Amino acid sequence: MHTYTKTDPLIWTGRKSGQQLYLHEKVICIDLNSEQIPSINGQSWTILGYACDEGVKRNEGRIGAALGPDAIRKQLAKLPNHLTENVLLLDTGTVDCNDGDLKKTQTVLSRTVTQLLNQNTFPILLGGGHDIAYGHYNGIKKYLATEGNNKSIGIINFDAHFDLRSNQTNNNSGTPFYQIAQDCKLEQSNFRYMCLGIREDANNSTLYDTAKDLGVTYVEKANFNLLYFDEIKEKIAQFTKEVDYIYTTIDLDGFSSAYAPGVSAASPMGFSPEIVLECLKIIIASKKMISLDIAEMNPTYDIDQQTAKLAASLVHFVIHQSQ
């Protein structure tokens, strides 16, 4: 079974201007098996898909997230392009999980993320279940190891869930940050994890205890809104100050289903896009964000492509805010 496929350029379609006014006219599709990422004297953003439902299935979630990457691509393609000429937007294909081998898929993802970072481009991963985080984080870690330094990685997760479930039975979409914490323990390194938007009705008491034991910084959904922005801003600033790099991950099921119905675990009690955008501004301004992913996009349950459009707009915001 394939674990990597090049993106069909026909997915990137939209209104034609002939002047690169839209992102589908800007993007370049690359096959990492046979093509090199172009070198450029400027920024380079790279889209990479993670078409994997296996972790969601094991976590008893709603199946369909494997279709997420292309659903987001189709909406991103239609959005206007305000990137300058010296900024590259690349699509380097998708890591697939067609045979149920989650460990292998995460290994391929990790290797691919390292490859992208080694080529001086900023990876934006589109999922797929939140098990994307374990492979993604390890790809960043391996890249920093090849650079010959011992830099620290802080994880900022926009999510309703801690995703700190024990992986004693199996690895799944609810275990990635627990797995990372256990790896940090074995390596005798610090586990630095901030979770924004946590809901009490989405995490049992054991998960809260685990978060406490692991020293997780978190903001509960009741306080994750613009009314508390000054406090949130201070917490993010302090967290980013204490690490060398930030890996940002956005789980779409953290948003209210009013904005994101197309996820594996939808709820009307989630947060709004506005608070996430304001937080992203702080993270971007820190100049420490090294990579980003968006998880749990499930087009099977989407309504009028609302969730895919939200995900695409988040990507659009990040690549333009960072100019």
Annotated binding site for Mn(2+): 130, 159, 161, 163, 251, 253
What contacts 161, CB < 8 A, 6 or more positions away? 130, 174, 198, 199, 202, 203, 207, 251, 253, 254, 265
Cis peptide before 61 (omega within 30 of 0): no
Q: Tell me the binding residues.
A: 130, 159, 161, 163, 251, 253
CA 264 to chain centre: 15
Count CB atoms within 10 A of the CB of residue 154. 25
CA distance 49 to 319: 17
Which residues is 95 bridged to in the sheet? 4, 50
CA distance 289 to 46: 14
CA distance 107 to 113: 10
Count CB atoms within 10 A of the CB of residue 151. 14
Provide the Cα torsion 302, 303, 304, 305; round to 10°. Answer: -20
